[in-house]
Structure formats: C-alpha cells, structure tokens
Amino acid sequence: MKKIFLTLAALAVAPAAFAQVEIGLKISPSISYLRTSSQSNDFQNGNSKIGFGGGIFLDYFFGENYAFNTGLFLTGKGGSYSYKEGTVLGTPGSVGTTTVTQKLGIDYLELPVTIKLFTNEISPGTRLYFQVGPSVAVPVGARINGDKYSNDPFNSNAQTKASDRVFAVDFNVLGSIGAEYQLGHSTKVLTGISYHHGLVDLDRYFEKDRGFSDVSIKNSVFALDLGLKF
C-alpha cells in the first residue's frame, strides 16, 4: 500500500517538476476563404481574402516536450461567394436568374485551447512543434463588399448591418506545424503554418430573412505564424 501511495505521489509531482510558462507575441498574415453550400440558389465559393492577425499567447509546459497553449488574438476571416437570384424579364410572366457576388469580411477575437508537442532538438537550439485543438472566436466587426451596412435590392432594398448577418460565435479546429529557435537564455522566435477549420454555419440572413433553403457558410483560414517568446 505504501509503495502504491508513493507511486501515485510521484506521478502527481512529476508534472510540477516540468511546469514552465512561456509568454509570447505572434503575428499571422493569412489567406481565408468561405466554404458554402445550399439546396437552393446555387451558392458557390468565390475568391479568397488576404487578412492579418496577431495577439498574445501562452505555453504552459506540463512535460519536457508537452505544453498547453492558449492566448487571445484578433484575426481577420472571410472571402467571397456567389448565388442565384430570380429576376423578372421584359416579357410579361417570364422569369430568369442573375448571379449575385458578395465579399464578406469578419474580424474575430479568438481564444485557442490547444496542445503543443515539441520534438527534441533537431539542431542546436532548434525544435519542431505540432499544435492541435479547438478554438472559439467572437465576431467584433464585419463588412459586406467593404461596407458595415448592406442594401439588398432583391429584398425591397432592405438595409441590414453586416455584423447582424453572421452568427455570434465561431468554433474552429486548429492545426499547425512549425519550429522554435533559441536566441538567448529566455528568448525564442518561432515560425509556422496553421490551418483553422470553421465548424459553425455563419449565415444568419439568407435562411432567416430571405427564406433560402439550407444555406451553409463556414470559415477556413491558412496562416503564416511569426512569433517571439520572452
């Protein structure tokens, strides 16, 4: 019984022996796009959007090569999409369609909750890392075709606020790979590539206000991560 107690105590104390907190700043130029689908109105993915993000992050090591990662970032997401609208042609009773293209840009405050796995040194002062986990993001601003408000000519020219068209939260799966370089006793630089896969349907306009069927608009982002740890 005493041996079991000592073993459990050693396991409980072991993570504390490795406990170390590293704080850093990161900037992330990115390319984002929207994944769209619908059962009506033929929604199609459009062009991608160049964005920029940055913020503060924290790595809490609970083992020599394992860390819990979190932080707070301002990130830009979005892209363009197109869909079909019905129009009345010149001949009485005849109806056609026209293609409408819109560009949606959304700014988020994003909080990752991930695990980072580090390799041993692949060269002096250099380690690779792999990061995976969820993140939650809250929109703090949005624009449609560059404007905070949008007039819809196919809906009695109704004006809507761009931020009211998107859902109030976005959940993502985040995955990244990169490398850290030791510059000094406590200073490190990092560079990596990350992918953010949005899970939430952002649309809060086409189904609710226009009556379109099963419209889905989701975020995807590829980012170049450049950071400095202190």
| Cβ-Cβ contacts under 8 Å for 51 (sequence gap 6 or more) | 29, 30, 31, 32, 75, 76, 77, 78, 105, 221
Domain presence at residue 5 = no
How far is Cα of residue 217 from the mean position of the Cα atoms in its chain? 14
Domain presence at residue 3 = no
Number of domains the chain is built from: 1
Residue 205: which domain range?
17-86+93-229
Domain presence at residue 11 = no
Q: Tell whether the torsion through CA atoms of 183, 114, 76 and 193 is positive or negative.
A: positive
Domain presence at residue 2 = no
| Cβ-Cβ contacts under 8 Å for 197 (sequence gap 6 or more) | 172, 173, 174, 175, 220
Query: What residues form DSSP beta bridges with 116?
Result: 67, 131
Domain presence at residue 181 = yes
Phi/psi class of residue 9: alpha, beta or left (left: φ > 0; alpha: ψ in -120 to 50)?
Answer: alpha
CA distance 128 to 120: 8
pLDDT for the residue 14: 45
What CATH number does residue 32 fall under?
Answer: 2.40.160.20
Domain presence at residue 7 = no
Domain presence at residue 4 = no
Tokens read off for 39: 């059962």
CA distance 113 to 109: 14
Domain presence at residue 139 = yes
pLDDT by residue, tens only, the chain of 230 residues: 444 434 434 434 444 445 699 999 999 999 999 999 988 888 999 999 999 999 999 999 999 999 999 999 999 999 999 999 877 554 455 467 899 999 999 999 999 999 999 999 999 999 999 999 999 999 999 999 999 999 888 888 888 999 999 999 999 999 999 999 999 888 999 999 999 999 999 999 999 889 898 999 999 999 999 999 98
Q: How do residues 40-49 score in pLDDT, each as one tens digit?
A: 888 999 999 9
pLDDT for the residue 19: 64
pTM for this entry = 0.85
